[in-house]
Amino acid sequence: MAQTTGPTSHAPPPAPRSTTGGSAAGLVLFAGVMMVANGILGIFEGVVAVAKQHVYVATPNYAFKLSLYSWGWVHIVVSALVLIVGLGVIAGQAWARAVGIVIVALSLLANFMFLPYYPFWSLIVLAIDIFVLWALCTYHPHRQPR
């Protein structure tokens, strides 16, 4: 006779915890909110650069020689796109996460090149953009748990 040492159960083992649960979705929602806020503030930054160019410091001998007027329009256009895509991220649109990665990368690049004109604000926006990129890149809503 075969001996058993305990009750046998045919229940499947517990599934591993998914890392794409509520906290990851919350980070993407927060990233969308940050995109909207960043877009609104970036539009204001661009308007100031277009209307009141004396607010920013003009850096001589800078590698990216654009006038502050041109930089202002760059910020207005990129920030408007960040704002629109951020609203899509908040709405949970899959296209918005994919497009958001590209648009936020453009925002990151534009603010990196704007560092000599307004370094404190540019560094803050760079940090926000890096967080948003990380949140958008790491969220996978349809990933199967392993």
Q: Which two tokens stand for residue 35?
A: 């995109």
> CA of 34: how far to CAs of 78, 103, 127, 145, in Å?
15, 13, 11, 29
How many CB atoms sit inside 10 A of residue 128's CB? 20
Evaluate whether 33 touches 83 at the Cβ level (below 8 Å): no
Average pLDDT, the chain: 81
Regarding predicted confidence, which is higher, 40 or 17?
40
Can you tell me the distance from the alpha carbon of 112 to that of 105, in angstroms, rounded to the nearest whole number? 10
The three-class DSSP label of residue 127 is helix
pLDDT for residue 116: 81
Task: Kindly give the residue spans of alpha helices, DSSP state H, lying in 13-59.
Answer: 22-51
- pTM attached to this predicted model: 0.74
- Band the pLDDT of 19: cuts 50, 70, 90: very low
Is a pLDDT exceeding 70 seen at residue 140? no
Instruction: Name the residue among 141, 144, 125 with its Cα closest to residue 133.
Output: 125
Is a pLDDT exceeding 80 seen at residue 58? no
Is a pLDDT exceeding 60 seen at residue 110? yes
Evaluate whether 40 touches 128 at the Cβ level (below 8 Å): no
pLDDT for residue 71: 85
